[in-house]
Amino acid sequence: MSDVTQNHISLITNKSSVVGEVAESMPEIETDRLLLRMFKTDDLDGLSQIYADADVMRYLSGHALSKEETAGWLNYFLAGWENYGFGWWAVVLKESAELIGHCGLQFIHVTPEVEVTYGLARPYWRKGLASEAARACLRYGFAELKLDRIYALADPGNIGSHHVMERVGMRYEKTEYYKDDLYEGELIYYAILRDAYQHDGSPYSLRPVAGDDTRTSFSRAFDDRKREWKNAKAAAE
């Protein structure tokens, strides 16, 4: 994703106590080379190393993150699953079991729209891995969350991210001025509609959650979000 992420992170308090329960109720996805799994508090060191690279964070936060800031992001990832029943996964390279980045789905700021997001450690760029992770997120979003449309947002200068979006079948939709407390500027929106989406048959193995708690949770999250958004728009008119 883009710089918009920062906005949410500031809202998160320390919720490490939820890790165990969230981890148990979260789906994992295996692709050809990757495992998308729940983040754990143990990931802090590995994630800090990745986010300490200013090149990785250039379009995510605009600067390299300290370990403390990374802990805030980690809490945000965990809280997303707790609050909405979907969110960001840890991206792990299967052959080495190494944590190499993140990917996932999240609401775009306060809207009921959902975007796909991804970011990898620099040694793993240009190997098709972000595309592999993004494809899995899209498949999950359409098959499990039953989304009608998934966006991807990027800074106009983040050419690598634009290419990932195109490679996974997303199309340019608009360039829109965006402003919140932390970010102001234009963002490029790519999107793919449910009707246009077709998975390409690449390896994808979903380990679903036991029971339907997560499904109930994200259905409710979407309904709540749509209602809040409608009310906010009505109030602004």
Ligand X SMILES: CC(C)(COP(=O)(O)OP(=O)(O)OC[C@H]1O[C@@H](n2cnc3c(N)ncnc32)[C@H](O)[C@@H]1OP(=O)(O)O)[C@@H](O)C(=O)NCCC(=O)NCCS
CB 187 within 8 A of CB 165: no
Stretch that binds ligand X, among 90-98, 157-165, 199-207, 210-218 (CB under 6 A): 157-165
DSSP at 178: E
Establish if 94 lies at the interface with ligand X (CB under 6 A).
no
- From 27, 72, 112, 128, residue interacting with ligand X (rule: CB under 6 A): 128
Establish if 161 lies at the interface with ligand X (CB under 6 A).
yes
Establish if 160 lies at the interface with ligand X (CB under 6 A).
yes
Q: Give the Cβ contact number of residue 152 at 10 Å.
A: 27
Establish if 127 lies at the interface with ligand X (CB under 6 A).
yes
Strands (E), 19-83: 28-31, 34-37
CA distances from 71 to 54, 176, 183 (A): 17, 30, 21
Establish if 141 lies at the interface with ligand X (CB under 6 A).
no
Name the minimum Å distance from CB 93 to ligand X: 12
The backbone region for 88, taken as left when phi is positive above 0, alpha when psi lies in -120 to 50, beta otherwise, is beta
Establish if 118 lies at the interface with ligand X (CB under 6 A).
yes
Name the minimum Å distance from CB 164 to ligand X: 5
Name the minimum Å distance from CB 162 to ligand X: 8
Establish if 1 lies at the interface with ligand X (CB under 6 A).
yes
CB 8 within 8 A of CB 108: no
Name the minimum Å distance from CB 62 to ligand X: 11
Question: What does residue 206 show for φ and ψ, rounded to 5 degrees?
Answer: -100, 125
- From 120, 137, 145, 191, residue interacting with ligand X (rule: CB under 6 A): 120
- Residue among 186 and 213 whose Cβ is closer to ligand X: 186
Establish if 123 lies at the interface with ligand X (CB under 6 A).
no
Q: Give the Cβ contact number of residue 181 at 10 Å.
A: 8
CA distance 110 to 236: 14
Establish if 171 lies at the interface with ligand X (CB under 6 A).
no
Q: Structure tokens of 86? A: 């979907």
Burial of 112 (0-12, 13-18, 19+ CB in 10 A): middle
Establish if 207 lies at the interface with ligand X (CB under 6 A).
no
Site residues for ligand X, 49-68, by CB under 6 A, read 56, 59-60
What does the binding site for ligand X look like in residue numbers (CB under 6 A)?
Answer: 1-2, 56, 59-60, 118-120, 125-131, 154, 158-161, 163-164, 167
